[in-house]
């Protein structure tokens, strides 16, 4: 996994892939599947919607950090497995053969098997709406990975896989931040 400049981290989330979010509660790591995410600016600010009904929420709220990991289509059954059991009674890294990799700035681990990872700090929790605002502090991308297609949850139990890529860079020029 090589370093990805933080100014490009939003391009991992903007297409709307299913993500994994790792946390560490001071004793052990955990991971959850999240599809309710949003980019909030070009400088690596993200929102996720979650709340006390998720076991990971306590670690997010108390430790104020996490890692966003981007899985690809070959991990679909892992993504669903992670999302349909609880860290309350399950060691998900062990159960799903995910390899935790030490992060630089946060205690939550990166996931080796994922296409990309973003170390994040929790900068705000908007309680009435269950929105957690995250600020990316470091990002990584595994360009050696052959499978780079991500997954988009529909919400009805089906998932859309990335298809064709269309280039409209020329038309979009006026709207792109510098360096992209």
Distance CA 7, CA 33 (A): 24
Distance CA 70, CA 141 (A): 9
Among 6, 39, 63, 137, binds its own copies (CB under 8 A): 39
* Binding status of residue 125 toward its own copies by CB under 8 A: no
Q: How far is the CB of 102 from its own copies (least distance, A)?
A: 28
* Binding status of residue 146 toward its own copies by CB under 8 A: no
* Binding status of residue 6 toward its own copies by CB under 8 A: no
* Binding status of residue 165 toward its own copies by CB under 8 A: yes
Distance CA 67, CA 119 (A): 5
Which listed range, 59-67, 91-99, 105-113, 130-138, lies at the site for its own copies (CB under 8 A)?
130-138
* Contact (CB, 8 A) for 37 and 133: no
Which listed range, 14-22, 58-66, 94-102, 107-115, lies at the site for its own copies (CB under 8 A)?
14-22
Among 22, 23, 30, 35, binds its own copies (CB under 8 A): 35
Please list, residue by residue across 29-58, b when 16 or more beta carbons sit within 10 angstroms of its beta carbon and e when fewer do.
bbbbbbbebebeebebbbbbebeeebbbbe
* Binding status of residue 11 toward its own copies by CB under 8 A: yes
Strand partners, 113: none
Among 77, 97, 102, 144, binds its own copies (CB under 8 A): 77
Nearest to 67 by CA among 107, 38, 127: 107
* Binding status of residue 36 toward its own copies by CB under 8 A: yes
Largest CA distance in the chain: 51
Q: Kindly list the residues in this chain that would bind its own copies in the complex (CB under 8 A).
A: 8, 10-11, 14-17, 35-42, 47-49, 73, 76-77, 80-81, 83-84, 124, 126, 129-131, 133, 149, 151-176, 180
């Amino acid at each position: 996994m090589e370093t990805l400049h933080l100014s490009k981290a939003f391009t991992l989330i903007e297409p709307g892939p299913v993500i994994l979010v790792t946390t560490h509660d001071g004793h052990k790591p955990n991971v959850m599947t999240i599809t309710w995410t949003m980019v909030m600016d070009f400088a690596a600010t993200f929102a996720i919607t979650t709340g006390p009904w998720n076991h990971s929420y306590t670690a997010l709220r108390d430790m104020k950090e996490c890692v966003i990991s981007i899985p690809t289509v070959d991990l679909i059954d892992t993504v669903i497995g992670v999302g349909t059991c609880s860290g309350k009674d399950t060691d998900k890294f062990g159960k799903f053969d995910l390899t935790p990799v030490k992060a630089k700035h946060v205690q939550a681990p990166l996931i080796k098997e994922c296409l990309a990872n973003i170390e994040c700090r929790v900068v705000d929790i908007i309680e009435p709406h269950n929105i957690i605002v995250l600020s990316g502090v470091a990002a990584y991308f595994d360009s050696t990975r052959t499978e780079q297609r991500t997954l988009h949850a529909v919400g009805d139990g089906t998932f859309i896989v990335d298809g064709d890529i269309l280039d409209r860079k020329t038309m979009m020029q006026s709207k792109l931040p510098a360096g992209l």
